[in-house]
Amino acid sequence: MKDLQQIAPNMQIMAHKDEAPYLDGRKMPIKLEKTMADYDNLPEERKQQIVQAKQIYEQMQVNFDRELQSGDVLPICGGIEILHTPGHTPGHMVVHLQESRILVCGDAVNITDNQITGPNPIHTVDMDLGLQSMQKIVDFPKTGLVAYHGGFLRV
């Protein structure tokens, strides 16, 4: 992200208010924090991997121009509405492209065999919230959705 900021210095960086603390260093990522709690019991090779992961995380921290929340609308591209969809991470969000009525869902859901399927449990920090967010996505009026895993689905 820092490299991108150097290329595009006028770029604004935005994140959901519940995600921002993990990205700017105020909070340690949940999975890293859990692993660090068990650090003394890990094999030496795994300890080295965790130290490297922590160093990479610390180098990648970014500051934000704006923290977003559900209901915010960015006045670009015909309107981009923010929907808070926690589960994958605490501050995961879906963006609703209002003009085309397409939801860009990231990791909140998957598309499998032309069906909306739930979030991947391996990559979801709170599966109950993830399933609630999936239902919010299913119920939301839309013409299509984009998922990181599965591509585009016209509905």
Domains of the chain and CATH, by start: 2-60 (no CATH), 67-154 (3.60.15.10)
Three-state secondary-structure class, residue 153: strand
Written as tens digits, the pLDDT of the chain (155 aa) is 667 878 988 889 999 999 999 999 999 998 888 888 888 999 999 999 999 999 988 888 888 899 999 999 999 999 999 999 999 999 999 999 999 999 999 999 999 999 999 999 999 999 999 999 999 999 999 999 999 999 999 99
Whole-prediction pTM? 0.85
Per DSSP, the three-state class of 127 is: helix
Q: What is the pLDDT of residue 3?
A: 76
Q: Report d(CA 127, CA 122) in Å as an integer.
A: 9
CA distance 37 to 22: 17
Q: For position 97, what pLDDT does the model report?
A: 98
pLDDT of residue 4: 81
CA distances from 130 to 1, 65, 89, 117, 119 (A): 26, 27, 9, 11, 6
The pLDDT score that the predictor gives to residue 64 is: 86
